[in-house]
Amino acid sequence: MTQHVPGPHGRRSGSERPASAREVSMRTESGAAEAETEAGYAVLSPELHDGDRILRCPASGLLRGSLRRAGVPIQERSRLDTADQTLHIVSKPLDDYEDLAVFAGASTAHHDTVSRVVATWSAVTAPRRVLLASPRSFCAGVERAIEIVERVLEDRRTPVYVRKQIVHNAHVVDDLASRGAKFVDELDEVPDGATVVFSAHGVSPAVRKEADRRGLEVIDGSCPLVTKVHSEAKRFAARGDTIVLIGHAGHEEVEGTMGEAPDATVLVETAADVADLDLPDPERISYLTQTTLGVDETADVVKALRAKFPALREPPTEDICYATTNRQNAVKAIMAEADLVLVVGSPNSSNSVRLAEIPGRAGKSAHLIGDTADIRPEWLAGADTVGVTSGASTPPGLVDQVVAALGGLGEVTVEERAVTRETIHFGLPAAVRRQTG
């Protein structure tokens, strides 16, 4: 699918005709000087109003990150007026568009810094092609977990606690917290008898026992595909196997899975770790994996395990989840054509981190970003084609914001590359269905 996203200043008529940068700059320098203050902040806005004319800056989100990294406090507004602030306007003609502007307001204290930031972003204005990987963003397990918290919040007058982040994305957690969810690290932070939601990453039997002992009302948000791995761990341990769990130490999913059979499970992270394994019965070994691992790296670990333990037994179906695999295949489908790959996701999201590693290993410039504010202008220098994708716990709106921000630097042509279509849906827990039925 291909679509065109105009830059910020296509031809307009009437009140939406963009003012010229020269005209605005002159008006600002003469008319706004008296309004300058020593207040220590910069002002960002997607619109600059000069009388009845409007100059637009969809790239204001990009400036936000640069100014914060430079230590400049920011005040954001829905619009700026030329009489309000000292403004720094930089324009660059682009094809058939009128003035392509990147702008911000600044008090005297940050004049030079804001000028430098605006000029840096103006230097990378250019038309670009954006390749959108598909599938991207929310998977069925993430959608289910978020909906569980939303429904419980709607149904309860008492506080709703969530153990750990419901999914690994700061924007999701902040949104749910703003609606009343109380996120805690451990159950000892939850009052006796309160309602607690377990995260999508699953929990160990020890956590469940503690919740029972404390009389907590538990709503389980564990992804069904994580629950499947837990079931396999219990079954493999019951038949007397040593379980080799492939995963990342400290990840909540790994801690929950190992808790199912702690005395029978060993953890390996890389193929190199396999060489150090000394297991009691080489004829009775099974392996399991974290659901969000890199497919290629995991295959290397399994290959090393088979070489050392020929009798190795595997799970009946793949443990790396469909969403992780699909998103990795999708980023592979766009990275060959991309000069730069942006992966939207939080740094504690395993599947998002894996997506950024894939093009990096192929020698491509690739970066994991939380949102538009993390994008840096030097990444875009010479990048005519930008690949964009996101992890399974990333809200789709964050990807839309990235594309819109790139459109603030010039006309963007968007092409979506789909490798498959996801139709999986997971039902809600019975307790939630009863409460909201």
Q: Is residue 171 part of an annotated ligand binding site?
A: no
Q: Is residue 291 part of an annotated ligand binding site?
A: yes
Q: Is residue 120 part of an annotated ligand binding site?
A: no
Tokens 């009863």 belong to residue:
434
Taking residue 69's Cβ as centre, other Cβ atoms within 10 Å add up to 12
Q: Is residue 168 part of an annotated ligand binding site?
A: yes
Catalogue the E-assigned strands of 97-241: 101-106, 128-134, 160-163, 181-184, 195-198, 217-220
- The letter for the amino acid at 5 is V
Q: Is residue 367 part of an annotated ligand binding site?
A: no
Q: Is residue 201 part of an annotated ligand binding site?
A: yes
Q: Is residue 139 part of an annotated ligand binding site?
A: yes
Angle at 170 between CA 68 and CA 157, to 5 degrees: 125
Which of 253, 255, 260, 357 is flagged as catalytic? 253
| 52-67 burial code (b ≥16 CB/10 A, e <16) | ebbbbbbbbbbbbbbb
Q: Is residue 349 part of an annotated ligand binding site?
A: yes
Q: Is residue 350 part of an annotated ligand binding site?
A: yes
Taking residue 214's Cβ as centre, other Cβ atoms within 10 Å add up to 16
Helix crossing, 224-238 with 140-155: angle to 10°?
Answer: 110
Is the bond leading into 191 cis (omega within 30 degrees of zero)? no
Q: Is residue 107 part of an annotated ligand binding site?
A: no
Per the annotation, the verdict on 253 as an active-site residue is: yes
Helix crossing, 295-308 with 322-335: angle to 10°?
Answer: 120
Structural contact between residues 204 and 256, judged by C-beta atoms closer than 8 angstroms: yes
What is the three-class DSSP state of 163? strand
Q: Is residue 329 part of an annotated ligand binding site?
A: no
Taking residue 367's Cβ as centre, other Cβ atoms within 10 Å add up to 16
- Show binding-site residues for isopentenyl diphosphate: 168, 201, 251, 349-351, 393
Residues that are catalytic: 253
- Show binding-site residues for [4Fe-4S] cluster: 139, 223, 321
- Show binding-site residues: 139, 168, 201, 223, 251, 291, 321, 349-351, 393
- Show binding-site residues for dimethylallyl diphosphate: 168, 201, 251, 349-351, 393
